Amino acid sequence: MRLMKKPTTLLEGLVFPEGPRWHEGRLWFSDMHDHRVMTVDLGGRAETVVEVPGQPSGLGWLPDGRMLVVSMTDRRLLRLDPQGLAEVADLSRLATFHCNDMVVDRQGRAYVGNFGYDLHTQADPKPAAIILVLPSGEARLAATDLAFPNGTVITPEGRTLIVSESMGARLTAFDIEADGSLTNRRLFAQLLEGAVPDGICLDAEGAVWIASPLGNELLRVRDGGAVTHRVQVSQRAFACMLGGPDRRTLFACTAHGFHPAEWIRERQGKIEMIEVDVPGAGLP
């Protein structure tokens, strides 16, 4: 395993950055507990795109270019229209607690995870589902009995979805059927003790970068579980994304502590970045 050099800081003073996406020459992300979706360019210039009262999380884009955003606490999928935010689907009947990360495929189908239980009050863990939302707004369960489904990626050919099960310390893969259904569930990687896969991204060799908050690190994991690279970040790592002009810039969303009260009080959230050899691939 290769231990890489420490990353540099692109942006700081955030509350809790999550859901990073490289899109149209900028990094887009949700500053979740500051209730806004933002962008930052490689020069560190940041802008607020839209405010989301229900806490934004996963981001994606429809084929026509409109952005989708998960609204966590009211368990809705929203779309940013020229007139403002509009509801695509109310997921409250399917999501057993707050919705979180998401991946949107090239047809505009959204795969949305949820906590399953109240993590921050230390409630007893319960399994959760991935919800499939079609562009029409129709929503149904795509996969169940997952241990906190979180970061999600789709391979370049659009046939495989990989999700991080944060409380299961594993990455799980599914086949994507023509109608968007998920089948053939299988283990992609069982992680070493202490690693917690949160946000993830995929590279061109089929390896997955995971943000692991317990170790303040990013890990590059191959199918089967071998860890090839490790990046130590300055604080807890909650999400990552490969972007930049050649998709070789690895961005990390980091924050201090584990509780919303700490994040809001301290505003130590950062976007950190480091160059890697293998470019990003697939979605998001």
**pLDDT value at position 39?**
98
Do the beta carbons of residue 144 and residue 99 sit within 8 Å?
no
Q: Which residues lie closer than 8 Å to 64 by C-beta, 6 or more apart?
A: none
Q: Is the peptide bond before 284 cis (omega within 30 degrees of 0)?
A: yes
Sequential pLDDT tens for the chain (284 residues) = 887 889 999 999 999 999 999 999 999 999 999 999 999 999 999 999 999 999 999 999 999 999 999 999 999 999 999 999 999 999 999 999 999 999 999 999 999 999 987 766 676 888 999 999 999 999 999 999 999 999 999 999 999 999 999 999 999 999 999 999 999 999 999 998 789 999 999 999 999 999 999 999 999 999 999 999 999 999 999 999 999 999 999 999 999 988 888 899 989 999 999 999 999 999 99
> How many residues comprise the chain?
284
Interval 10-51: pLDDT, tens: 999 999 999 999 999 999 999 999 999 999 999 999 999 999
**pLDDT value at position 3?**
75
Give the CA dihedral 53, 272, 43, 11, nearest 10 degrees.
40
Domain range list for the chain: 2-275
**H or E element in which residue 188 lies:** strand 182-190
**pLDDT value at position 109?**
98
Q: Hey, how many other C-beta atoms are within 10 angstroms of the C-beta on 156?
A: 12
Domain 2-275 sits in CATH at 2.120.10.30
**pLDDT value at position 120?**
67
**pLDDT value at position 262?**
87
- Two tokens at 2? 């290769």
Interval 145-173: pLDDT, tens: 999 999 999 999 999 999 999 999 999 99
Q: Model pTM?
A: 0.96
β-partners of residue 47 are 39
**pLDDT value at position 269?**
97
